[in-house]
C-alpha cells in the first residue's frame, strides 16, 4: 500500500509525463538553466523526482551521434544514477534510481533530417520554429531513499557542481506540510524540519 505523499508525487510525475506526451505544458516548463525537484517524505522514506531539460546535463538536446556526444551522455547517466553523491541525506540509503528521457528512446528519432531535406521551400522562420518544437529533450530521474534512522533535518544537493548548466532548481517538498523554494549555485540546501 502506498503512502499518501508518495501517491501525490506519483500523480505529479504522471501529470508531467502526460504533459510532455502531448507537448502542452512542456513549453512553459522547459527553460534552459532551470529544473525541478519534487521531494516526498513519508515516515522513513524519501522520494525525489528530478526533472530537467537535457541541455542542463549535456549541453545539447539532440540524439547523440558522434562518439564525443555519446560519451557525454554515458557520463551524465553515470552521474545521475549516483543519487547518493548528488544528494546528502544524513544516514539515508539510496535504494533505487530510475532515469527516463526521450534521448534514451531508441525507437523514436526527434531529428527527422529527411523531413527537412524533402521540404526545401521552408523559409528560415518556419524551419526555426520546427527546430524549436522538435528538438527539445528532457530528463526525469526518480530516486528512492530509505531512512531507517529517521529523516534528516536537511538535504544538500550536489547537482549544481555535477551539472554546471544548471542555474535554478524549483523545489517542492511534500511532507507534513508542503513547502516550496528555489535553489541556486550558492543556496543548495533544503531544510526539511
Instruction: Take residue 15 and report the three cell numbers written for it.
Output: 501529470
Q: Does 63 bind Zn ion (CB under 5 A)?
A: no
How do strand 168-174 and strand 34-42 relate by DSSP bridges? Answer: parallel
d(CA 68, CA 58): 11
Minimum CB distance to Zn ion, residue 87 (Å): 24
Backbone angles phi, psi at 75, to 5 degrees: -65, -40
Nearer to Zn ion (CB atom), residue 55 or residue 159: 55
Minimum CB distance to Zn ion, residue 81 (Å): 22
Q: Does 136 bind Zn ion (CB under 5 A)?
A: yes
Residue count, binding to Zn ion (CB under 5 A) = 4
Minimum CB distance to Zn ion, residue 125 (Å): 19
Backbone angles phi, psi at 170, to 5 degrees: -85, 125
Minimum CB distance to Zn ion, residue 167 (Å): 14
Stretch that binds Zn ion, among 33-41, 116-124, 128-136, 150-158 (CB under 5 A): 128-136
d(CA 53, CA 60): 9
Encoded one letter per residue, x for contact with Zn ion by CB under 5 A and - for no contact, window 36-55 reads -----------------x-x
d(CA 55, CA 88): 24
Minimum CB distance to Zn ion, residue 63 (Å): 13
d(CA 187, CA 8): 26
Q: Does 83 bind Zn ion (CB under 5 A)?
A: no
d(CA 101, CA 3): 26
Nearer to Zn ion (CB atom), residue 79 or residue 102: 102
Binding site for Zn ion (CB under 5 A): 53, 55, 61, 136
Amino acid at each position: 500500500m502506498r503512502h499518501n505523499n508518495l501517491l501525490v508525487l506519483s500523480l505529479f510525475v504522471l501529470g508531467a509525463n502526460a504533459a510532455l506526451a502531448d507537448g502542452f505544458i512542456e513549453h512553459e516548463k522547459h527553460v534552459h538553466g532551470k529544473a525541478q525537484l519534487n521531494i516526498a517524505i513519508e515516515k522513513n522514506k524519501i522520494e525525489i523526482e528530478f526533472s530537467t531539460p537535457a541541455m542542463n546535463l549535456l549541453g545539447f538536446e539532440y540524439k547523440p551521434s558522434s562518439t564525443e556526444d555519446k560519451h557525454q551522455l554515458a557520463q551524465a547517466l553515470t552521474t545521475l544514477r549516483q543519487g547518493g553523491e548528488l544528494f546528502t541525506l544524513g544516514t539515508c540509503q539510496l535504494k533505487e534510481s530510475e532515469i527516463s528521457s526521450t534521448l534514451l528512446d531508441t525507437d523514436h528519432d526527434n531529428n527527422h533530417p529527411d523531413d527537412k531535406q524533402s521540404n526545401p521551400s521552408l523559409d528560415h522562420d518556419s524551419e526555426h520554429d520546427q527546430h524549436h518544437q522538435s528538438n527539445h529533450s528532457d530528463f526525469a530521474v526518480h530516486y528512492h531513499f530509505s531512512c531507517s534512522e529517521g529523516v534528516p533535518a536537511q538535504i544538500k544537493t550536489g547537482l549544481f557542481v555535477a551539472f554546471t548548466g544548471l542555474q535554478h532548481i524549483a523545489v517542492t517538498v511534500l511532507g507534513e506540510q508542503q513547502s516550496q523554494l528555489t535553489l541556486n549555485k550558492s543556496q543548495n540546501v533544503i531544510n526539511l524540519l
